[in-house]
Structure 1
Amino acid sequence: MTVILSTSCRSNQDDKEEKSTKPTRAEFLVSFLVDARGGSMTGCRSTQLRMLIPPRAAEQPVRITCRQLRSDNVLHLPPLNDGEGLASRILQLTPCQFLTPILLELRYSTQDTSDREIVIYRCDSGKKWTLHTNCGSDENLNAFMSTSVYDLSKINPSEDFKIQITTTSLPRYFALVCRPKQQIVELDVSGGTVHSTMSPGLTCTFPPKALTKGSSL
């Protein structure tokens, strides 16, 4: 009687295939390489920078550089008005595109208060800064975050404050700006009265036809 034992060999092969397709999880100093497997990358410095890239978000292997720069090392800083200031060092990245949203988690040093807010600015060209708007809900990213290994949503209140950035493209720079909280109200040519939610008792009245077109105030 001939007995063929091939279970162990098949198991080893399956383990190799699973390992080759499993998302990576590693620490990086300045840069890291990501491919279609995706992964969770954490900066090994004290900045607590983390980047979450779901599987199949990267179309091809790409090396991403992440540096946190002092303001005097950036030629063109984001525009700052009175009462505004940088909440962290400016994040310099390798510009690249992704097929689905990715997530960055970045620590900032300014404490949240009822009258101030943290906003995200991005610079794609190296000179012009614009407000960044996070991507909407994405099933691929949410499913990846819900796993116990890669869950970044649980933030310890005792730790420094953190912000999450979702985007389908990495700009050249990201900057976190702390500014007085702003209230935006939509008005049209019919006018109206605006009541401030941050300064009780403060109102501003616009008579009809005072505005030539719909405006955001």
Structure 2
Amino acid sequence: MEEEDSPIYAVVQKSTKENGDPPPIRSEFLVSFLVDKRGGALTGSRGSGIRLIIPPKALEQPIRIKCSYCPPDIPNSLPPLLDGDAIASSGVIQLDCSPSEAKLLRPMLMELPHFCETEQVGRELIVIKSLDGLTWSEHSQFHCAASGWNQTNEEDLYMDVVSQLQLSTVKDDLDTDRIVRVSLISFPKYVAVVSRTRSKSATITKEKGGILKSQNVTVIFPMNCVQKKIKAGLQVRGINQKNLGDLPLGWETSPVLSISPLNRRLHEPIAIQLPLGGWKSRIDREIKVLVLKSASDAPTWEDYTPYTAIEFQDNELLVFTKVTGLFWVFLTTKPSSNAAEVANTLYKSISSVQYLCEVIVFYRPEFPRAWCNTFRIHLTNRRGLEQFSESKLNNWKLCLRRPVSLEEGKYRFRFNQGLVLVGQDESILGQIVDTLDFRPFLEDSLTLVSRKMDQQPLVRQPTLEMSKSDSGATVLDAELEVQL
């Protein structure tokens, strides 16, 4: 395909005064903009974080491009996400151009920030696109980096546009160093950045079979297991130390394995090889192979051990099965009839996606009464303090700004070191905590009224403690820059 052969970055030849080419344009846009053969750099306003760079002579005629984030309630705008996948940017980007038959003669570059934890074990970012919102495909021409950009390399990529418009670096222009760059040679209807479990794929044929390997896990497809050529994938979802601590005493577990295409019956059994290096003695233990039957809000794992063959070879465990799907192997103590219940409890935790966001706290002294103070807490993915109304008011002061990595759910907040909460009826609530529901890319805020404890001097600076509501694990315990 032409798009796959195009370079990730368009290197534009310098335009000179001798050839009479007009300079590219540079502007901001709210929803749409008009661009012609001059090309240019267009940056989304109001904190959208989108920047489009269109090289000169990439268009045959002037066109109007509409570029915006789709609200999550618009039909056919959200891609079909698998279990454990999540949108990594502020939403799905919708592109519309007028006239609709307009084409690009040179690749256009779209730059947008993402907010998913790229260092999370076994995860990766991909870009998918769609022409109608119904059929989605993976887009190969993109680049993602979590570190700062090298300005020299950026000038090499956009020599003409950067030199004439004196563009700042992507990090400075978009106010973040988590940037995804997408090269487009056409105008898809929708573009989305997705965080998913890292995947390995291979082509499986009847004559040769195939092998998939990821994170010390190997899946062997023998000959004649399929009747026609298929593309198979393997995803290995690791278990962190926190989740391992939630296992019953004496239990051990493998990673969660996803073999696609899911729920496909094969003609010959495939072999799943799992290393046993970290597993202890198998005396008084038994192997339980579980398969995921439902991946809804209430995941349902079932015991699939009677339908598999299990062998031990050297320091490996071999599991043979004729069906693909999501598998989870437990080494349990006898009796282990509750293995499926343990898996149902742990699976939601290990499937959660970590989002990079900020805890921002504003402070208004002597409000609503002279003897109390008001704190407003924001959990946000938005960039820059100018997005908050409190930053524009003189009577509000910033007292805390910390980056954190959160998963979707409820979080508890409480004051320590000499501060107590005050109720709406001005009664003292003491150390009662308030909760805030974090939902990615949606505005969440909590207002707390507090006062200083009576007859207790402030030995240390007051602190704000943030913890998970379900597990009680502390996420943040930071000092507040306030003077009481």
Deviation at 1:144, TM superposition (A): 5.8
User: Which residue pairs with 1:215 in the alignment?
Assistant: 230
Q: In structure 2, how many angstroms separate the alpha carbons of the residues matched to 1:193 and 1:57? A: 43
User: Which residue pairs with 2:108 in the alignment?
Assistant: 102
Partners of 2:187 and 2:128 lie apart in 1 by 12
- Please name the residue that 1:70 is paired with: 71
> Structure 2 counterpart of 1:92, which letter?
Q
Is the Cα contact below 8 Å between 1:69 and 1:90 reproduced in 2? Answer: yes
What's 1:206 paired with? 221
Secondary structure at the aligned position of 2:42 is classed as: strand
Contact between 2:200 and 2:213, CA under 8 Å: does it hold in 1? no
Aligned partner of 2:9 in structure 1 is none
- Counterpart CA distance in 1 for 2:167 and 2:228 is 46
1:175 to 188, 192, 196: 192
2:180 pairs with 1:163? yes
Q: Which residue does 2:213 correspond to in 1?
A: 195
Match of 1:115 in 2: 122
1:93 pairs, out of 95, 110, 131, with 95
Does the 8 A contact of 1:145 with 1:151 survive in 2? no
Show structure 1 runs of 5+ residues with no match.
Answer: 1-13, 136-141
1:77-98 alpha-carbon deviations (Å, 9 max, x no partner): 2101110111121111114421
TM-aligned CA distance change 1:87 to 1:203, over 3 Å: same
Larger Rg: 2
> Which residue number in structure 1 is paired with residue 135 of structure 2?
128
Aligned residues: 191
Quick one: which amino acid aligns to residue 131 of structure 2? Answer: D
Distance in 2 separating the partners of 1:153 and 1:125: 33
Identify if the C-alpha distance between structure 1 residues 192 and 66 changes in structure 2 by more than 3 Å, giving closer, same or farther: closer
Query: Unpaired segments of 5 or more residues in structure 2?
Result: 1-15, 143-154, 233-484
1:170 CA drift (Å): 1.4
Secondary structure of 1:98's counterpart equals coil
Structure 2 contact 202–211 (Cα < 8 Å) conserved: no
Distance in 2 between residues matched to 1:28 and 1:126, nearest whole Å: 24
Deviation at 1:39, TM superposition (A): 0.6
SS in 2 for 1:71: coil
User: 1:30, 1:131 → 2: CA distance?
Assistant: 25
- CA RMSD in angstroms comes to 2.9
Over 3 Å counting, the alpha-carbon distance change for 1:23 and 1:214 in structure 2 is same
Q: CA deviation at 1:112?
A: 0.9
8 Å Cα contact 1:50/1:104 also seen in 2: yes
* Structure 2 CA distance for aligned equivalents of residues 122 and 28 of structure 1: 22
Separation (CA, whole Å) in 2 of partners of 1:126 and 1:192: 33
Partners of 2:139 and 2:168 in 1: how far apart?
Answer: 20
- 8 Å contact from structure 2 (residues 113, 176) kept in 1: no
Q: 1:52 to 1:31 in 2, by over 3 A?
A: same
Q: Give 1:176 deviation, angstroms.
A: 1.5
Q: Secondary structure at the match of 2:106?
A: strand
Where 1:174 maps in the other structure, the secondary structure is strand
Aligned to 1:145: 158
CA apart distance, 1:210: 2.5
Higher relative contact order (CA 8 A, sep 6+): 1
2:391 counterpart residue number = none
> Cα distance 1:143–1:162, how it changes in 2: closer, same or farther (>3 A)?
closer
Change (3 A) 1:192 1:146: same
Stretch of structure 1 that moved more, 124-133 or 30-39: 124-133
What letter matches 1:103 in structure 2?
A: L
**Which whole-Å CA distance do the structure 2 matches of 1:87 and 1:152 have between them?**
24
Q: Deviations over 1:20-60 (max 9, x none)?
A: 71111111122111101111111122122100101110110
1:40 corresponds in structure 2 to 41
Structure 1 distance, partners of 2:188, 2:211, is 39
Q: Which has the higher strand share?
A: 2
2:28 matches 1:27: yes
Following TM superposition, by how much is the alpha carbon of 1:107 offset from its aligned partner in structure 2, in angstroms?
1.0
Deviates more, 1:81-90 or 1:121-130: 121-130
Q: Which residue identity is paired with 2:124?
A: E
- Say if 1:191 and 1:123 are closer, same or farther in 2 by CA, change over 3 A: closer
Partner of 1:9 in structure 2? none
Q: CA deviation at 1:61?
A: 0.2
